[in-house]
Amino acid sequence: MTLVQENVYRRTDAGTVGWDDELDAVLLRWHGFATSESFRAHMELCIELLEATGANKMYADARNQGAISDEDKLWSITEWATQADEAGLEALVIVYPESVIAKMSVDSVMEQVDDDIERLITDDVTEGRTWLADRPATATDVVVSELEEPSLDVEPASDTDEKTETIERADDDVPAESDSTLESPAEADADEATTSHSEPEPETDTATADGSSTASTTSPGTSPDPLTVAGIGGIVGLIGVSVMMFVSGQVPALVPNALANAALLLGSVVLGGMALGWLAAKILS
């Protein structure tokens, strides 16, 4: 990870135009989608900064850039590139957008340019910065705060309305986070308090006879279902009669007919067990 010194000329929610101290180059860093008006204004600010500093290099970080319209593509080719060439731009690095559509927009523009500017378009931040650093610079030790305020009317970022001081930014292969989404310390603390909130842990009881610790939780009481308990009672009664008949070797006589006697006995036991189970469940509930 490389810490990059940036002097910000103008930062908006759409992008940052400034000076890269390490590369001695004009910097353009996109934060997200820009309207046609905003896109052109940022690009023209780069021309303004090239002329103000006498720089011949430019580094454009387009990883977070959105797609641009056909009209803006044509403008970039026919007007902006010509102005940049006249302003002294000799070497330009563009780090590809992550968006496939935006990447196609960049490729479409690069295929049609016809000027004397040497360009490198790459996915690799390190490659791009190394390539541009190897090019000779016509301007060094630029401090944009000493320059005049930007003459172009570009809407500033929501958290600033003037040029900011030099900042350090991690410029590695991980996509840069949009400055417009950076949270203030108060917002970060509020988010942390919200996301880290959890239900309080239940209290535990530790009083056991042998002195060991036993955790217990308190949960809302649940009432037994009468029908379930009744069914269990019937099954238990049926099992009990079966065991009794198996042990004694005979069926208690309730009526003279043996088959009817067995059916009547088992049915009575099942119904009795269910009734008792239901009654017990109702009492417990």
Mean pLDDT along residues 22-32: 95
Q: What is the pLDDT of residue 222?
A: 52
Given a cut of 80, whether residue 58 has pLDDT beyond it is yes
Given a cut of 70, whether residue 142 has pLDDT beyond it is yes
User: Alpha-carbon distance 64 to 174, whole Å?
Assistant: 11
Q: What is the pLDDT of residue 276?
A: 76
Pick 161 or 113 by higher pLDDT: 113
User: Alpha-carbon distance 253 to 264, whole Å?
Assistant: 10
Given a cut of 80, whether residue 46 has pLDDT beyond it is yes
Given a cut of 80, whether residue 2 has pLDDT beyond it is no
Mean pLDDT along residues 49-53: 95
Pick 3 or 242 by higher pLDDT: 242
Mean pLDDT along residues 37-44: 96
Mean pLDDT along residues 164-183: 44
Angle CA 258–264–266, to nearest 5: 100
pLDDT band at 274, cuts 50/70/90?
Answer: confident
Tens-digit pLDDT profile for residues 71-118: 998 999 889 999 999 999 999 999 998 888 888 888 888 888 778 899
C-alpha dihedral, 26 to 31 to 36 to 42, nearest 10°: -20
The stretches of the chain forming alpha helices (DSSP H) are 36-53, 70-75, 81-86, 100-110, 125-133, 185-195, 226-248, 258-284
pLDDT band at 37, cuts 50/70/90?
Answer: very high
pLDDT band at 281, cuts 50/70/90?
Answer: confident
Say which residues have a Cβ less than 8 Å from residue 88's Cβ, sequence separation at least 6: 50, 51, 54, 55, 56, 138
- According to DSSP, residue 78 is labeled I
Q: What is the pLDDT of residue 9?
A: 93
Ranked by mean pLDDT, the top range of 43-47, 139-143, 158-162, 165-169 is: 43-47
Pick 219 or 238 by higher pLDDT: 238
User: Alpha-carbon distance 35 to 16, whole Å?
Assistant: 15
Q: What is the pLDDT of residue 63?
A: 94
Q: What is the pLDDT of residue 146?
A: 86
Backbone torsions φ then ψ of 169, nearest 5 degrees: -130, 140
Q: What is the pLDDT of residue 109?
A: 82
pLDDT band at 225, cuts 50/70/90?
Answer: low
Amino acid present at 268: S
Given a cut of 50, whether residue 66 has pLDDT beyond it is yes
Its sign, for the CA torsion 127, 49, 68, 79, is negative
Ranked by mean pLDDT, the top range of 73-77, 169-173, 279-283 is: 73-77
